[in-house]
Amino acid sequence: MKISIIGAGMVGASIAYATMMKGIADEIALIDVNINLAEGHALDLSHGNPYVKPVRILGGDYFLSKNSDIVIITAGRSQKPGESRLQLIESNAELMKNIVKKTLSYSKSPLLLIVSNPVDVLTWVAWKVSGLPSHRVIGSGTTLDTARLRQNIAQHCHLDPRSVHAYVIGEHGDSEIVSWSTANVGGIPLETLCSACTASCEGSGVFERIFEDTKNAAYKIIEKKDATYFGIGLAVVRILEAIIGDSHSVLTISTVHNEFEGIKEVPFSVPSVLGRNGVERILPLKLSEKERAGLIKSALTIRKAIDTISK
């Protein structure tokens, strides 16, 4: 299994490192306009081969991505402190077009995994430019947001985050929502668990505070260290595991929906089954009326952003 990562910044390097640690690839190619950076990361990573399942690691220009099974795109202008992901559209959309075209000149029909922000809009761009079926063009979506949510719930409730089942859906951005009505721990609805909990939570609005901490996590990290990369690196490798292992895992990735509530060709995240060929099916969520309205609003936010560049 050959994986190419376009963009050898901290996000791309973190994905390469986590992929190597998991031992799920036979070959990893790091591609970047900064050839020295890509070559340096490849050399540095290769020195860890004696301690993991050995993998061939290359670094350099696009020709090294030839015959890739999966291409991960992380390249793009980074989010600045106080800047929303949607503000990155103009600069990163054109870059995405060029990257996809170059990628497909070396790999006939790879599965595309988009990580660059705004990820939902750029997933649409990659899908349009590539001509690939929508189930083979995947955005990392709200996989990281969902992980942050589960960690925040687990920390509040003193639980193992792997035992928390809750989803952030919609845009990977400010309009995202939480499907609280489906959130559970061990099959017990979260609201039921809270009513039986002996912990004395301070006042009301616990769910709202957890959601705000989840939604604003990236802003806090960017303010403190300029970028987020470890969390998204692990989230992307979880997606890779589901695809390469054909495990039919349920993850909140972003993919283009042909139609949703009258909105055409809009990418957003909902629980989706992933396997070797990409997205196998979308799982239906039992949302409350408020949550459904929030998801529609989020989808419209993405569609409006796409409309600004679609021509």
Residue numbering of the annotated binding site for substrate = 79, 85, 117-120, 145-148, 228
- Is 76:95 a contact under the CB 8 Å cutoff? yes
Distance CA 25, CA 275 (A): 16
For residue 31, what are the CA distances in angstroms to 1, 88, 234, 260?
17, 21, 19, 36
- Is 246:276 a contact under the CB 8 Å cutoff? yes
Binding positions: 7-12, 32, 62, 79, 85, 92, 115-120, 140, 145-148, 150, 165, 228
Binding positions for NAD(+): 7-12, 32, 62, 92, 115-117, 140
Sorted by sequence, the CB contacts under 8 Å of residue 284 that are 6+ apart come out as none
Catalytic residue list contains 135: no
Start-to-end C-alpha separation, the chain: 36
- Encoded tokens for 84: 């929303």
Distance CA 17, CA 76 (A): 20
- 47, 135, 172, 248: the catalytic one is 172
Q: Catalytic site residues? A: 172
